[in-house]
Chains A and B, each alone.
Chain A
Amino acid sequence: MIRAEPPQAGRDLLVLHALRCGGHAGTARVAAATGLPEPAVESELIDLGAAGLVTYAAGPFAAWGLTDAGRAADAERITADLESAGARPAVAAAYERFATLNPELLDLCTAWQLRSVDGAGTVNDHSDPSYDTRVLGRFTDFDRRAAAVCAELSAAQPRFGRYRVRLADALDRAASGELAYVADGTASYHAVWAELHEDLLATLGIPR
């Protein structure tokens, strides 16, 4: 049987869901998460705001975020999106493989931040390039296995494809010396992975 292209989630849902998975964010981060141009993101956010689904919080941590209604709307729509694509079995199976990989990724982030010297745990100050290279080498090996899970997910629902792009980008930047892209900041491998984790839980309706 030839399968039709799975239906694509609408732009408004992509933007709404990016805030659901990534927490409060500015337009640039939502653009990175969705792959949409920033002006398009801003326009969607304004419409979603008018519908009472998102709100802009001012102050030192100014950002867009979901309202309670937005969270409920996202849950309903992302579930409908999953079921209409008939993607639940594939996403659930991929989530099981994700859950096996997750502790390993957290081990890797920990090894990036802390290292054991003469039996003593100490902060990795990144003064030893050979150690960092070893850890990044394991990240690369891990990423190959993560890519397989990402591929299953995007075959089931194309919107998951952004995670592959963002994870690969973070690892490329880290490998070329931008060390913050491993575990610091919202575009780091760790942060994108955590968003994927949140996305899978939200999509499958699994409580934390």
Chain B
Amino acid sequence: MRWIRPLSAQVAETAETLGGKAHGLVVLHRLGLPVPAGFVITTDACRAYLREGRLPAGLAEELAAAMGGLEAATGREFGGVRAPLAVSVRSGASVSMPGMMSTILNLGLTADAAAGLAAETGDARFASDARLRFLSSLASAITDTDVGGGDGDDATAAGPGGAAARSAEDEGARRADAIEAVQGLVRRLSGAPVPDTAARQLDLAVETVFSSWDTPRARTYRELHGIPPDLGTAVIVQAMVFGNRDDRSGTGVAFSRDPNTGENVPFGDVLFARQGDDVVSGRSPARPLRELADREPAVWAALVDALNRVEGHYRDACYVEFTFEGGELWFLQVRPSRFTGAAAVRAATDLADEGAVTRHEALLRVAPQQLRHVRTPRIAASADADILGRGVGACPGVAAGRIATTTDAALRMAADGPVVLVRPETSPHDMRGLAAAAGIVTARGGPASHAAVVARAMGKPAVVGTTGLDVAAASVRFGGRTISEGTLVTIDGISGEVALGSPRIATDTAGAHLRRLLEWADDAAGDHSERDDAQRLTAAHAALRQG
């Protein structure tokens, strides 16, 4: 085939052609790890599409043939009523462009196919939620905005209590309404209804991913980060694995080492009975990865084994995305994880000590700029701290203070001591509260949110997008725990942790590891004179790159 490659161990092409994500899936195949059946449309096809403004000649035939292969491999029928095949459609360029590209889940679930899935599984709720998730992910991709949908958005529906509190009929009606609303949105914004055949849904999804390469926002991002404008993105099509299938299903992300400290222990988040991007988007409260060991020991054991194998391949700390359905584990993505600060120092030093890399390689793994943040204060050893919640660190540093949930409270309380402002998200109304607070925590928003931008401008530690955080009038809830306003908390703007009380703070978390790495640096540079950390590492890099 000219435009399409299967996802298999035999594919020999580079990430330039396959895209980084598909290339990682090929690596997983080579390591004998389970990857859902699928194929990749190459970046060549994207470049042809961008040049010609339409899908290149021959792609339609290749797509039909590849889908036929996928049907044969899974024993399911694309767009069929009996055993319908649903696929995910994901972008994957050869360079990472976070937030730029789209993932469409459960594609192929036409109204008829969703009814077939309901009949097959005997679970109408599962099937209609899957169809809603398909429509909202398609709408998000088409409109380049976040369109909510699926039960992942509704925390109260998560637990059995939430589901029981609402009658099944109400829920069914609510989802039916949501399905109607999302279809209406697509029709209004794209000028055409959602296609009602699976094959045309696939064509639309592929074109949408291709054109998302050239949105103004994507162009700006490339310009800012020096990414060539003509790389294009690949498109990965895979049979769906349903993390929301039942109680023995779920989805998660895992690092082979702790990205906060670099320590050699698996780290990550898992969501039980949830699908796809719920973990990545932070829409649902995630559980610490370790809980997998108790609930699904076989999945945990397979995951730990896989993390060892991918580390062995990349000779670096790694990141994987996974889903398990009915107790069976599947991998959806792998890449080396780029640690920062103290974690980068520790991981590089440990990898050298373990013999995975040479000392010289370890030195080159750490950028001198990383050392700037190595001595930034951190909450010490998470195991001893009572961690209420975790979000995204948006401005480095530690702040301890009493919780204020409004700007007025922050102003009032700041007279008596430091305050941590905890908000759902921030707006210009919170400026005085942000100014009065020692640190900032938000429930929603990422590292580019209003709160994050303002916190960095003010140089205040901040944690944004805290999963499971719910802000009420005079209290906040972290997961299931209610904490009243005025309670002392400590936040870590690097790790994104929010801890109860005042845990121990460390300013030299890399400690012994940093000293050893810098000794190797001096050896490599042949210079043992007194200089600052970054200078010592820079000199080593210069010497190693010359040699």
A103-B448, A110-B452, A117-B369 known; A138 vs B220 contact (CB < 8 Å)? yes
> Any chain B CB within 8 A of the CB of A81?
no
User: A119–B99 contact, CB under 8 A?
Assistant: no
Q: How far is the CA of A186 from the CA of B457 in the complex (A)?
A: 11
Which residues of B from 161 to 193 have beta carbons under 8 Å from A? Answer: 189
User: A107–B429 contact, CB under 8 A?
Assistant: no
> Any chain B CB within 8 A of the CB of A21?
yes
15 contacting pairs across A/B (C-beta < 8 A): A21-B428, A23-B432, A60-B436, A61-B435, A61-B436, A100-B145, A106-B453, A107-B224, A109-B453, A110-B448, A111-B225, A120-B340, A142-B216, A194-B428, A195-B428
Which residues of A from 93 to 141 have beta carbons under 8 Å from B? Answer: 96, 99-101, 103-104, 106-111, 113-114, 116-123, 134-135, 137-138, 141
Q: How far is the CA of A194 from the CA of B143 in the complex (A)?
A: 21
Q: How far is the CA of A114 from the CA of B456 in the complex (A)?
A: 9
6 further interface pairs, Cβ-Cβ under 8 Å (given A63-B432, A108-B224): A21-B428, A113-B457, A138-B220, A141-B220, A184-B457, A208-B425
Q: Which of A23, A108, A117 has the most CB of B within 10 A?
A: A23
Q: How far is the CA of A110 from the CA of B447 in the complex (A)?
A: 8
The chain A residue sitting closest to B436, CB to CB, is A61
Which residues of B from 360 to 414 have beta carbons under 8 Å from A? Answer: 367, 369-370, 372-373, 407, 411, 414
A23-B428, A59-B411, A122-B373 known; A113 vs B456 contact (CB < 8 Å)? yes
User: A23–B447 contact, CB under 8 A?
Assistant: no
Q: How far is the CA of A121 from the CA of B216 in the complex (A)?
A: 23
> Any chain A CB within 8 A of the CB of B223?
yes
Q: How far is the CA of A28 from the CA of B145 in the complex (A)?
A: 36
Q: How far is the CA of A60 from the CA of B412 in the complex (A)?
A: 10
User: B370–A185 contact, CB under 8 A?
Assistant: no
> Any chain A CB within 8 A of the CB of B450?
yes
> Shortest CB–CB separation between residue B487 and chain A, in angstroms?
23
User: A120–B427 contact, CB under 8 A?
Assistant: no
> Shortest CB–CB separation between residue A121 and chain B, in angstroms?
6
> Any chain A CB within 8 A of the CB of B217?
yes
**Chain A 22-46 against B: per-residue CB contact (8 Å), 1 yes, 0 no?**
1110000000000000000000000
User: B373–A107 contact, CB under 8 A?
Assistant: no
> Shortest CB–CB separation between residue B535 and chain A, in angstroms?
16
> Any chain B CB within 8 A of the CB of A191?
yes
User: A107–B427 contact, CB under 8 A?
Assistant: no
> Any chain A CB within 8 A of the CB of B507?
no
Q: Does more than half of chain A's interface fall in helix, strand or loop, or is it mixed?
A: helix
Chain B residues whose CB sits within 8 angstroms of the CB of A110 once the complex forms? 447-448, 452-453
User: B340–A135 contact, CB under 8 A?
Assistant: no
Chain A residues whose CB sits within 8 angstroms of the CB of B407 once the complex forms? 23
Chain B residues whose CB sits within 8 angstroms of the CB of A197 once the complex forms? 427
Interface size on B, residues (CB 8 A): 44
Chain A residues whose CB sits within 8 angstroms of the CB of B372 once the complex forms? 122-123
> Any chain A CB within 8 A of the CB of B431?
yes
Interface residues of A (CB under 8 A from B): 21-24, 57, 59-61, 63, 96, 99-101, 103-104, 106-111, 113-114, 116-123, 134-135, 137-138, 141-142, 145, 183-186, 188, 190-191, 194-195, 197-198, 208
> Shortest CB–CB separation between residue B435 and chain A, in angstroms?
6
The chain B residue sitting closest to A59, CB to CB, is B411
> Shortest CB–CB separation between residue B83 and chain A, in angstroms?
39
Q: Name A135's contact: one of B224, B367, B448 (CB within 8 Å).
A: B224
Q: How far is the CA of A152 from the CA of B223 in the complex (A)?
A: 28
User: B453–A113 contact, CB under 8 A?
Assistant: yes
Q: Name A117's contact: one of B367, B436, B452 (CB within 8 Å).
A: B367
User: B427–A208 contact, CB under 8 A?
Assistant: yes
User: B367–A22 contact, CB under 8 A?
Assistant: no
> Shortest CB–CB separation between residue B365 and chain A, in angstroms?
10
The chain A residue sitting closest to B365, CB to CB, is A119
Chain B residues whose CB sits within 8 angstroms of the CB of A145 once the complex forms? 216
Which residues of B from 15 to 53 have beta carbons under 8 Å from A? Answer: none
Chain B residues whose CB sits within 8 angstroms of the CB of A108 once the complex forms? 220, 224
User: B367–A118 contact, CB under 8 A?
Assistant: yes
> Any chain A CB within 8 A of the CB of B528?
no
Q: How far is the CA of A19 from the CA of B448 in the complex (A)?
A: 25
> Any chain A CB within 8 A of the CB of B144?
yes
Q: How far is the CA of A145 from the CA of B407 in the complex (A)?
A: 33
**Chain B 352-365 against A: per-residue CB contact (8 Å), 1 yes, 0 no?**
00000000000000
Chain B residues whose CB sits within 8 angstroms of the CB of A184 once the complex forms? 457-458
Chain A residues whose CB sits within 8 angstroms of the CB of B450 once the complex forms? 106, 194
> Any chain A CB within 8 A of the CB of B484?
no
User: B340–A24 contact, CB under 8 A?
Assistant: no
Which residues of B from 338 to 360 have beta carbons under 8 Å from A? Answer: 338, 340, 344
Chain B residues whose CB sits within 8 angstroms of the CB of A103 once the complex forms? 99, 217, 448
> Shortest CB–CB separation between residue A104 and chain B, in angstroms?
4
The chain B residue sitting closest to A191, CB to CB, is B428
User: A22–B457 contact, CB under 8 A?
Assistant: no
Q: How far is the CA of A117 from the CA of B414 in the complex (A)?
A: 37
**Chain B 280-310 against A: per-residue CB contact (8 Å), 1 yes, 0 no?**
0000000000000000000000000000000
User: A107–B448 contact, CB under 8 A?
Assistant: yes
User: A134–B224 contact, CB under 8 A?
Assistant: yes
> Any chain A CB within 8 A of the CB of B8?
no
Q: How far is the CA of A59 from the CA of B448 in the complex (A)?
A: 31
Chain B residues whose CB sits within 8 angstroms of the CB of A63 once the complex forms? 432
> Any chain A CB within 8 A of the CB of B449?
yes
**Chain B 427-443 against A: per-residue CB contact (8 Å), 1 yes, 0 no?**
11111100110000000
Q: How far is the CA of A107 from the CA of B219 in the complex (A)?
A: 11
> Shortest CB–CB separation between residue B517 and chain A, in angstroms?
15
User: A61–B432 contact, CB under 8 A?
Assistant: yes
A61-B411, A103-B99, A120-B370 known; A23 vs B430 contact (CB < 8 Å)? yes
The chain A residue sitting closest to B411, CB to CB, is A61
Chain B residues whose CB sits within 8 angstroms of the CB of A116 once the complex forms? 225
